[in-house]
Amino acid sequence: MKLIKAMATVAGLTGASRILGFVRDILTAGVLGAGPIADAFFVALKLPNFFRRVTAEGAFSVAFIPLYSERLEKEGQEEASLFASNAFAVMLFFLLPFTLLAMLAMPYIIYAIAPGFHGEPLRYDTAVELSRITFPYLLMMSLTALLGGVLNAHNRFMPFASAPIFFNLCLIIALLVFTKFTETAGHAMAIGVFVAGIVQLLWLLYFVKKQGIGLRFKKPEFTGNIKKLFKLMGPGVLGAGVMHINLFADLIIASTLASGSISYLYYADRLNQLPLGMVGIAVGTALLPMLSRSIAAGNKAETQHLFNRSLEICLMLALPAAVALFVLPETLMRTLFERGEFTAQDTSVAAKALMGYAIGLPAYVAVKVFSTAYWSNQDTMSPVKISIFITAINITLSLILIFPFGVAGIAISTGLVAWIQLGLLYRGLKKKTDIDFDGRFKRVIFKIIFSAVLMGFLLLVADKYIVSASNAEWQKIISLSVLVGLGLIVYATSIITTKAITVAELKKYLPNKSKKRVKDV
């Protein structure tokens, strides 16, 4: 049950973070709305996150964790700790000057990533100013991710999984407290991002010390292991960078559209990120160290089992979430965000973007499992080639779809290309490894699809004829709660009735102190 327990830990804490994130976004929508200051802040938020995902959650993590796990498995804790300490020093050596240079060059960076801002002094100048405040978050979160990877390799998933909770708390406090002392709410939130980076780094340092892992500050040394890390990171940096060029392509295209377009994509993506974060991050975080150690030990049966059960669990959770987002976009947007500066017109446009993102949600969750399988095999080149191809398709398709669909066309393109990426990853993995779908997965997937479609049809009917007439704030909240409850009941009943998952399996996955668990999943 190690995989299930790890996924549950990460998913639960990620869920708590996402709930706080929604509180933050509700406050943000009410205070900032979808205007020029909001657009400027969201650019300032995306910029360090882009580089963080390349250096921390992207290339560095997928190269570092398998290598650290291998050191731990074959050479013991002392050698693994020495490798981690050196990696920390090397990361600090490169990222500190990079951060300072980026802050100095920020006017040029904003011009490059949001060219549509240049003719609007308010959006452009504010974006430059806020980005200089938020950019050091890159350095702090990259170091935090390294520490989180070390803890995850020791099956200690709680500290890193809970770190985003502090991020959302810092931004909520910034909105409620700092706004009184800053020029705009956007400035207050930028300060909140900076403070959140410090808090999360200190949080992980505490747990690394508590675990007794033995990391220490030292002079960076370019040893054989570090050179191997860079060798694996090389294609990983390119791959992660290419993948996140998709995000900046969306940003650039949206910046040329009407004011508020970047904000519409942000709010829609926030809803899309709830299941994607809870499921995708959970499986990637839990699966990478386990799969890496399984491959290092040469255990093919366990490797196949981990891959299939991870994919099965992911789709069992992601498919119904995608269906719900697709059939209830306006109800969700209206209930969660439509108040204050966020108008009914904003709801309508953002809802269409949400539908586009929902199309690709199951594929993106599955991509996380497939990518983890590549990374666990220390293959960072194959996903790069696929990412380059997918990026070209996404940019082209976005430019085509904005004409009939406006800003929603960007989200639709993002959703569609996810399925192309999944297909290419599957074909490549099948050719290069023994990993493939097992008999159980092939039986279960059709039952999951049937259950999700049935739930979606009933939600569509319920939304149209039962609860969509509500107008008051409390009525909207109750109506959405009824819909969520109905969807959960229908879907759970269906997957149990069709035996996509059995009652016996559910009991096995739940804590049971009176019985010893027979096998790990």
Structural domain includes residue 274: yes
Residue bearing the bigger pLDDT, 9 or 114: 114
Task: Select from 437, 463, 479 the last residue of a domain.
Answer: 437
Residues 432 and 464 placed together within one structural domain of the fold: no
Domain span at 313: 2-437
Statement to judge: residues 257 and 299 lie in one domain: yes
Residues 408 and 484 in one domain: no
Tell me the average pLDDT across 78-85: 85
pLDDT in tens, 397-417: 999 999 999 989 999 999 999
Within this chain, do residues 359 and 400 fall inside the same structural domain, yes or no? yes
Residue 445, in any domain of the structure: no
- Strand residues in 361-491 grouped as ranges (E): none
* Residue whose token pair is 């070390």: 150
CA-to-CA distance for 231 and 225, rounded, in angstroms?
10
Domain boundary, last residue among 437, 462, 484: 437
Alpha-carbon span 329 to 347, nearest angstrom: 9
In a domain, 447, yes or no: no
Using the predicted structure, report yes or no on whether residue 77 has a pLDDT greater than 60: yes
Residue 141 has pLDDT above 70, yes or no: yes
Please check whether residue 449 lies inside any domain of the structure: no
Cα 507–Cα 509–Cα 514 angle in degrees, nearest 5: 65
| Predicted local distance difference test score (pLDDT) of residue 438 | 80
CA end-to-end span of the chain, whole Å? Answer: 5
Question: Does residue 235 have a pLDDT over 90?
Answer: no
Least confident of 86-90, 165-169, 302-306: 302-306
225 and 331 assigned to the same domain: yes
- Whether 444 maps to a domain, the answer reads no
Average pLDDT over residues 60-88: 81
SS3 131: helix
Does 124 share its domain with 254?
yes
Cα(204)–Cα(140) distance, integer angstroms: 11
Longest CA span, the chain: 68
HEC readout, 431-469: HHCCCCCCHHHHHHHHHHHHHHHHHHHHHHHHHHHHHCC
Tell me: do 301 and 198 sit in the same domain. Answer: yes
Q: Given this model, what pLDDT does residue 521 score?
A: 44
Residue 31 lies in a domain: yes
Distances, alpha carbon 390 to alpha carbons 9, 247, 277, in Å: 32, 12, 21
Same domain, 238 and 306: yes
User: Does residue 442 sit within a domain?
Assistant: no
Q: In terms of domains, do 483 and 339 share one?
A: no
Shared domain check, 429 and 505:
no
The whole-chain average pLDDT of the chain stands at: 82
Note whether 21 and 91 are same-domain residues.
yes
Question: What is the total count of domains within the chain?
Answer: 2
The model's pLDDT over 160-208, given as tens digits with 9 standing for 90+, comes to 888 889 999 999 999 888 888 888 888 999 999 999 999 999 999 999 8
Token representation of residue 254: 């949206």
Please check whether residues 123 and 223 belong to one and the same domain.
yes
Q: Which of 437, 464, 489 is the last residue of a domain?
A: 437
224 pLDDT higher than 90: no
The three-state secondary structure class of 76 is coil
Q: Is residue 120 part of a domain?
A: yes
pLDDT score recorded for residue 429: 83
> What's the whole-number mean pLDDT along residues 265-288?
75
